[in-house]
Amino acid sequence: MAMMDLVPPDWTHCGHGADPATDPVGCRGVYVSGRTACLAHLTDEDRVTYLTGLAPGASVNHLGTTFDGPLLRDLLEALRDPATRQPRFGSAWFDGATFIGDARFDHVTFAEDAYFNRATFTGDARFGGATFTGDAWFDEARFAGAWSGATFYSAARFGGATFHGDAWFSGARFASLSQFGPFVCVREVGLSDAVFDAPVTMEIAAGAVRCARTRWASTATLRLRYAAVDLRDAVLSAPVAVTAYRVPFTLRPGQTVDESAVVASVPDASVQIDSVSGVDAAHLVLTDTSLIGCQFTGAFHLDELRLEGNNTFASPPKRWRWTRRRVLAEEHHWRALPPENPNPPRGWTPSPHVPGPAVVPGPNQLASVYRALRKASEDAKNEPDAADFYYGEMEMRRHDSGRSLGERGVLWLYWLLSGYGLRALRALSWLVFVMTLTVLGLMLWGLPADPHPPVEPITGTLGGGKKVALFTGTPIIGGVAPGPWSEKISTHRLDRAVRVAVNSVAFRSAGQGLTRPGTYIEMGSRLAEPILLVLVILAVRGRVKR
C-alpha cells in the first residue's frame, strides 16, 4: 500500500471498507450533505432522494468519490437541462475522485469552476463538446485512457497531469488560457483544430503533439519534450516558438514532473518536427529541434523562418560520392525514387507517407525551399549553414529537367570543379592537378632545348684602339624541344616549368622562352589556374564567413 493511502483526506470522508490492518482510511468520498456516506455508498433510497433534489446548474461536491458508469450517468441525468437536453453543473468539485471505466462528460456545461485535481480516470476521459465557463483544474490528475477535447472560456489547469493513453483536445477552444501544463502524455496529445485566443505557454512531455490546423490568435511558446510535432496547416497570427526543453518541467519549487511513463516508450527527450507545410513561417521560431524528417514544401515565407540554437537536418548517405551537408527530408524522398536511385537501401530514405513520384516534390520545388532557407540563414548572419542550403539549391537546379541543357551543363561543370564554389579541397585538388599537367607538358613539349642559343658576337673598337665584343641573344619562340627523354626530364627543366606554372596563376609572364606547344600550354594555364584559385578562395570564405 502506498504511503499516501494511509493519510486521510482533508474533508470528512466516508470511510466505507476501512480495515485497521490493511486500509485504515477506507473510502475517501466526501459526505453527501446531510448524510454520513459518500454518493457511492448511500443507500438506494438516500441516493434517489439526493439526485431528485438536484436541478440543472446545481453545484455538486463529490471529493474523493468513486464513480462507475451507472453512477455517473445518474448524476448527469439529474442535472440535464430540459431546454438543451444537456447536463449543466454550477460549481463542480471532483478533486481526488476516481472514475471507473470511461468517464463520459460529452457536451456537459460547467457554468462555474470545475475541479478535477488529482482525479483518476481508469478509462477514457470523454469531454467532447463540453464547455467550461469557469476555471477548469486538472492538476496532477491521472488518465489511463484517452482524453477528448472541450471548450474552455476561462483558465484550464493540467499541471502535473499524466495521460497514459491519448489526450485529445481536437476542436477545443481556450479563450483565456495562459498556462497549458506541464503534463505528461504517454501517447499523443491532439490539438488539431484547437483555438488559443490568448497568449499561452505550453509545457508538454509526450510521444507526439498534433497541431494540424491549430489556430494561435496570439503569441505562444511550446516547450516540449520527447514529442514528434505536426504543425501542418497551423494558423499563426502572432509569433509561435517551438522549443525542445532540455530538463524536466518543474511543477512547483523542488518538484519536477514525473516523466517515467513516457520515458518507457520514448527514451529520447529530443523534439522532432514532422511538418510545417501550410504554415506561415514568418511567425515561427524553432529552437534545438530535429528537422531530419520535416516536410517544408508548402510552407509560406520560409525565408523569414527563424532557426535558433542547434536544429539538426538530415544528411546524405555516408558514401564517398556524397558531400556532407544539411539535406531536406524531401530531397531524400526524391532521390529514393526511380530512376534517380532505384535502390533506396543505398542510403536515400523513401517517403513513408506517399506512394509514388506524382506527389513527391521535384527538384524545381526543392530548389525554392533551399533558396528560402538559405536566405533565412543569411539574414540571421549564419553564413556557414546558408552555404549548405545554397549547395542544395544548386544541386536541385542541376537535376531539374525543366532547365536548358546549357544551364545544366554549366552547373555540372561548376559542381565538378569546386562543388558550386563551396568545396575548397575539390577546387584545390583541381588546381594542383592542372598545375601538375602544366609542368609535365612544359617539360615534355613546352621548353626548348636551349632558350638562349649562341649567336655571333658583334665586335668594335673603342676610343684608344681598344677592341670589344658584344654577345646578344633572343629566346627562340617556337623552338624545338629536346628529343631524348634524358634531355626532357631533368631538374633544370623541372625548375623552369614550375616557374612558368606558378607565375601563370597570377597572370604574369614567366619570362621563359617556349616552343609553340609551350605557348599554348602557358595560355591555357593562365586562363584555368587563376579561376581555380578564385574558387578555392570563395570556398574557404563560404565556410568561415560570419
Q: Kindly report, residue by residue over 374-421, the tens digit of the pLDDT.
A: 999 989 888 878 889 999 999 999 998 888 999 999 999 888 888 888
- The residue among 398, 386, 400, 333 whose CA lies nearest residue 360 is 333
331's enclosing H/E stretch is helix 329-335
Q: What is the pLDDT of residue 224?
A: 96
pLDDT tens readout for residues 442-472 = 888 877 775 555 556 677 777 666 777 665 6
Provide the pLDDT confidence category of residue 72 given band limits of 50, 70 and 90: very high
Highest averaged pLDDT of the listed ranges 125-129, 282-286, 400-404, 430-434: 282-286
**Cα angle, residue 430 at apex, residues 427 and 435 outer, rounded to 5°:** 125
**pTM of the complete model:** 0.77
Q: What is the pLDDT of residue 390?
A: 92
Interval 308-335 mean pLDDT: 89
Cα–Cα dist 510/435, whole Å: 14
Give 69: exposed, middle or buried? Use CB within 10 Å, 0-12, 13-18, 19+. middle
Please list, in sequence order, all residues whose beta carbon lies within 8 angstroms of the beta carbon of residue 280, skipping any fewer than 6 positions away.
235, 236, 299, 300, 301
For residue 518 the three cell numbers come to 609551350
Residue 517: CB atoms within 10 Å: 16
Interval 105-125 mean pLDDT: 91
Do 285 and 311 touch, CB atoms closer than 8 A? Answer: no
State the Rg of the chain over Cα: 39
Backbone angles phi, psi at 436, to 5 degrees: -65, -45
Q: What is the pLDDT of residue 4?
A: 47
User: pLDDT: is 468 or 211 the higher one?
Assistant: 211
Backbone angles phi, psi at 449, to 5 degrees: -60, -40
Provide the pLDDT confidence category of residue 477 given band limits of 50, 70 and 90: very low
Cα–Cα dist 390/393, whole Å: 5
- The residue among 174, 124, 123, 117 whose CA lies nearest residue 141 is 117
